Amino acid sequence: MAISRPRVTAPFLHVLLFTLTWVLYWVQRQPLLDGPSRWPFLAVFLGDFPLSVVAFGVMFGSAERAPYAIAAWGILGTLWWYFLGTLIEQRGGKA
């Protein structure tokens, strides 16, 4: 089954956590680290580090560029997690 492969599971998990973070933030406008979006946000922030730091810097520095930073963070972070999943599959096959 395809979902059991890390190269599929990892980016799917990223999209799920990233979407959950922003939906929870949209529903209850509380700070990302103090509201209900705390745990999915932390998982995505740490998993996408240092990309998440750059995106967060743009979000706080420019309100008109924030949507672009969020979109770039979501897309590039998902690609990053796909790359990590592919590495996990390769390392698992060599063991």
Question: Which domain does 79 fall in, by range?
Answer: 2-87
Tell me if 77 is assigned to some domain. yes
Tell me if 93 is assigned to some domain. no
pLDDT in tens, 5-49: 899 999 999 999 999 999 999 998 888 888 899 999 999 999 999
Tell me if 92 is assigned to some domain. no
Tell me if 75 is assigned to some domain. yes
- Report d(CA 30, CA 43) in Å as an integer: 18
Has residue 1 got a pLDDT over 60? Answer: no
Tell me if 95 is assigned to some domain. no
Looking at the 3D structure of the chain, how many domains does it have?
Answer: 1
pLDDT in tens, 51-74: 999 998 998 899 999 999 999 999
Quick one: pLDDT at residue 95?
A: 45
Whole-number Cα distances in Å, 73 to 3, 29, 80, 90, 95: 23, 20, 10, 25, 33
Tell me if 48 is assigned to some domain. yes
